[in-house]
Amino acid sequence: CLGLEDFYIRRLYLRIQVLHEKLILLFTDCFGRPIASAPDAWFDVVERYSNDNNKTLKRTTNISRCFNLGSYNYLGFAASDEYCTPRVIKSLKRFSPSTCSARVDGGTTTLHTELEERVANFVRKPSAIVFGMGYATNAAILPVLIGKGGLIISDSLNHNSIVNGARGSGATIRVFQYNTPLHLEKVLREQIAEGQPRTHRPWKKIIVIVEGIYSMEGELCKLPEIVAICKKYKAYIYLDEAHSIGAVGKSGRGVCELLGVDTADVDVMMGTFTKSFGSCGGYIAGSKYSCPAHLYATSMSPPAAQQIISAIKVILGEDGTSRGAEKLAQIRENSNFFRSELQKMGFEVLGDNDSPIMPIMLYNPAKIPAFSRECLVQKVAVVMVAFPACPLLLARTRICISASHTKEDLVKALEVISQVGDLVGVKYFPAEPEKQ
Ligand code: PMP
């Protein structure tokens, strides 16, 4: 019979053992291979993006070219494009890489004004302002839109730039369950009564913040339901379309177009140029805004602005070709093909049809370096998602599909991922039998 002291010592011992196992998981992969001494387990420093539709990259450790399944280059505009690249080079010569000036101090070029007009027109809003960095767009605009006495209701899986922007605003923050309109309504009901006029509420302003496509889940926002709830409770909606603008919708105009939501019902439209447009920066579109980071930061690099202008022209067919429409059809076809093939193989794939983001669940964090390393050995580069970007035991690899991936490339990559999936043991469902 154990004395009380023995009992506590054993409990302590068991705890140490569990902790020890967890620590080992942090330092070795599921095959017991050390992680710290194995830089080959991760995407390495990239030496060069190739111009064959940006699908390969060079790694400096062993200079190997890999098929790139990790980039946000959704429409294949990055690296080199027959319409965009010559115009970007021309703008570089005309304006230089930097304006070296803030927007209010001579940093507004004709490219900046043209870009802002085109973005407003593209997202179907009266006005837009652009920033040199996507992250800073969220972080800088939220404190302008809302402050002390206001209430932000934020999706639990919103991007870190939104979280930091919300915190910086000084507003009260409440979080609702990831992409769950019912829970959003519950949170709203705890704060105000349905139909209460904006002037008679305990909050100066209420903003609900959601994303168009969630970057770690690949799921589309349940925007129609969320819009209906926000109308009912007279709350403003702020929509981050970093991953959806340019990537989904018949003419690339994002989730509103795809899901049939009138953009007039979304008060603030935010997006980045770092994905579908192959450039950098972000925008805020809606009514006319003014923001210190827009006025006093050095303005967006002119060649970056030119790249976005040219990409929008291609998407809308203003380059005189149908390449934009073809790219949009291709990314949809590629994404739906890749997702359904992965599912047939027995992988657990998150996200919705039409979404170019497809996370494959690994769960066990020790499988992250093993999966990544085995894919890299076979020259396929994938992005791994681990804590704190997702919960500790919900590790995943995240595939991003591009319109520039060819069917042949995708079939080869699927073979590699299938072999690695068997090796690492992450096919959680039975594979679908091959059709005769
Ligand atoms: N919002 C979301 C939803 C994002 O996923 C990201 C980054 N991928 C950002 C904002 C920040 O954008 P950027 O990388 O262009 O700074």
Contact status, residue 168 vs residue 143, Cβ threshold 8 Å: yes
Phi, psi dihedral angles at 358 (to 5 degrees): -135, 100
Q: What's the gap in Å between 215 CA and the centre of ligand 1? A: 9
For ligand 1, atom 15, which residue shows the shortest CA distance?
A: 134
In a domain, 155, yes or no: yes
Phi, psi dihedral angles at 271 (to 5 degrees): -160, 170
Report pLDDT for 294: 87
Ligand 1 atom with the shortest distance to the CA of 275: 15
Lowest-confidence segment of 88-92, 103-107, 223-227, 257-261 by average pLDDT:
103-107
- Residue of 163, 215, 244 to test ligand 1 pocket, by largest number of atoms within 8 Å of CB: 215
Contact status, residue 159 vs residue 138, Cβ threshold 8 Å: yes
Residues 303 and 348 in one domain: no
In a domain, 8, yes or no: no
In a domain, 431, yes or no: no
* Residue closest to 426 by CA, chosen among 354, 362, 364, 375: 362
Report pLDDT for 34: 65
Q: How many domains does the chain have?
A: 2
To the nearest whole percent, how much of the chain has pLDDT over 70? 89
Share the mean pLDDT of the chain.
90
In a domain, 10, yes or no: no
In a domain, 214, yes or no: yes
Sign (positive or negative) of CA dihedral 239, 245, 249, 250: positive
* Element at 243 (helix H, strand E): none
More confident residue, 296 or 222: 222
- Strand ranges, E, within 307-417: 357-363, 380-381, 383-385, 395-400
Contact status, residue 348 vs residue 399, Cβ threshold 8 Å: no
Report pLDDT for 89: 97
Report pLDDT for 392: 85
The domain that holds 330 is classified in CATH as 3.90.1150.10
Report pLDDT for 36: 54
Residues 307 and 351 in one domain: no
pLDDT in tens, 273-294: 999 999 999 999 998 877 888 8
Contact status, residue 155 vs residue 179, Cβ threshold 8 Å: yes
Could you tell me the residue range of the domain that residue 234 belongs to? 84-315
Report pLDDT for 29: 72
Residue 17 DSSP one-character state: H
ipTM of the complex: 0.99
Q: Is the pLDDT of residue 198 over 80?
A: no
Give the residue from 315, 334, 349 where a domain finishes. Answer: 315
Ligand 1 atom with the shortest distance to the CA of 72: 8
* Residues whose beta carbon lies within 6 Å of some atom of ligand 1: 133-135, 138, 159, 161, 211, 215, 240, 242-243, 272, 274, 282
Report pLDDT for 38: 57
For ligand 1, atom 1, which residue shows the shortest CA distance?
A: 242
Residues 233 and 305 in one domain: yes
Q: Give residue 255's Cα distance to chain centre.
A: 13
pLDDT band (50, 70, 90) for residue 55: low
Q: Is the pLDDT of residue 344 over 60?
A: yes
For ligand 1, atom 12, which residue shows the shortest CA distance?
A: 134
Q: Is the pLDDT of residue 408 over 90?
A: yes
Fill in the amino acid letter for 284: I
Q: Is the pLDDT of residue 99 over 80?
A: yes
Residues 357 and 371 in one domain: yes
Residues 88 and 213 in one domain: yes
Residues 55 and 95 in one domain: no
Report pLDDT for 298: 96
Give the residue from 315, 342, 369 where a domain finishes. Answer: 315
Residues 339 and 402 in one domain: yes
In a domain, 18, yes or no: no
Residues 63 and 111 in one domain: no
Whether the link from the prior residue into 388 is cis, omega within 30° of 0, is: yes
Residues 389 and 254 in one domain: no
Residues 240 and 209 in one domain: yes
Q: Where are the alpha helices (DSSP H) in 292-358?
A: 292-296, 302-315, 323-345
Report pLDDT for 363: 93
User: If DSSP codes are grouped into helix, strand and coil, which group holds residue 266?
Assistant: coil
Report pLDDT for 189: 93
In a domain, 243, yes or no: yes
Residues 185 and 94 in one domain: yes
Q: What is d(CA 103, CA 99) in angstroms, rounded to the nearest whole number?
A: 9
Q: What's the gap in Å between 28 CA and the centre of ligand 1? A: 30
Own/partner contacts of 415-423, CB < 8 Å, gap of 24 or more, are 416/375, 416/378, 416/379, 416/380, 417/342, 417/345, 417/347, 417/360, 417/375, 417/380, 417/382, 418/345, 419/374, 419/378, 420/371, 420/374, 420/375, 420/378, 421/345, 421/346, 421/347, 421/360, 423/370, 423/374
More confident residue, 392 or 6: 392
Give the residue from 255, 286, 315 where a domain finishes. Answer: 315
Q: What's the gap in Å between 135 CA and the centre of ligand 1? A: 5
The domain that holds 165 is classified in CATH as 3.40.640.10
For ligand 1, atom 9, which residue shows the shortest CA distance?
A: 135
Residues 288 and 176 in one domain: yes
Fill in the amino acid letter for 98: S
- What token pair was written down for 44? 């390495």
In a domain, 13, yes or no: no
pLDDT band (50, 70, 90) for residue 20: low
Lowest-confidence segment of 152-156, 299-303, 386-390, 422-426 by average pLDDT:
386-390
pLDDT in tens, 26-37: 666 777 776 654
Report pLDDT for 3: 63
Q: What is d(CA 116, CA 118) in angstroms, rounded to the nearest whole number?
A: 5
Q: Which residues of 393-430 are buried (b: 16+ CB within 10 A; e: fewer)?
A: ebbbbbbbbbbbbeeebbeebbebbbebbeebebbeee
